[in-house]
């Protein structure tokens, strides 16, 4: 619905002779469908880019794309902003309030795809990075997960971009606790929160 409304508004602006149309789209829908994994699958993230440009959008501002390469789907400028600029300050507040200890803090990613994002947090805060490696049976179903790194006695901060059903996030959190983590918190840029995520 929101995507269709965006197209309609862009078309109306274009027909009203707007010189430039900047779309501010914090959550880029269909971003997870950014490549073909099997034959006859759509690349919907590219389709959405085409639709936006056809509707007349001349610039896009978005936050935490699922894959940074989506910017290349556009022939117009894309401003890809990062939620880490806000979240790092929040984590520093937690440290100042003694809710978590800086010496005890570990940044974790619930999947290998989020390693670059999580590494940004780890480097900025000067703390270790832990990675979860997962094997999926199919979309939204995680079969197996392993931790790469040490979480025993640590305050773990799981960082992700999109939380849909929260299957990966909850599995990662439980795995952290099973491996001796003292506490587990999660940060997500885009909490879609489809059932049973809550």
Which residues are registered as beta bridge partners of 156? 106, 184
Q: Is 100 helix (H, G, I), strand (E, B) or coil?
A: coil
Q: Is 173 helix (H, G, I), strand (E, B) or coil?
A: helix
* Catalytic residue ranges: 134
Q: Is 56 helix (H, G, I), strand (E, B) or coil?
A: coil
């Amino acid at each position: 619905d929101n995507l269709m409304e965006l197209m309609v508004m862009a078309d109306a602006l274009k027909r009203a002779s707007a010189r430039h149309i900047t779309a501010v789209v914090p959550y880029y829908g269909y971003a997870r469908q950014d490549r073909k994994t099997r034959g006859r699958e759509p690349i919907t993230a590219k389709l959405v880019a085409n639709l936006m440009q056809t509707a007349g959008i001349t610039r896009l501002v978005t936050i935490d794309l699922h894959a940074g390469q989506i910017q290349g789907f556009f022939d117009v400028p894309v401003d890809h902003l990062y939620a880490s600029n806000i979240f790092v300050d929040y984590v520093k507040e937690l440290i100042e309030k003694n809710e978590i200890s800086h010496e005890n803090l570990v940044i974790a990613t619930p999947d290998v795809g989020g390693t670059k994002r999580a590494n940004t947090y780890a480097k900025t805060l000067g703390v270790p990075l832990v990675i979860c490696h997962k094997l999926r049976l199919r979309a939204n179903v995680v079969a197996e997960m392993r931790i790469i790194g040490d979480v025993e006695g640590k305050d773990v901060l799981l960082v992700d971009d999109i939380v849909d059903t929260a299957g990966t996030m909850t599995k990662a959190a439980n795995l952290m606790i099973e491996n001796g983590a003292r506490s587990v918190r999660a940060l997500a840029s885009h909490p879609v929160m489809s059932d049973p995520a809550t």
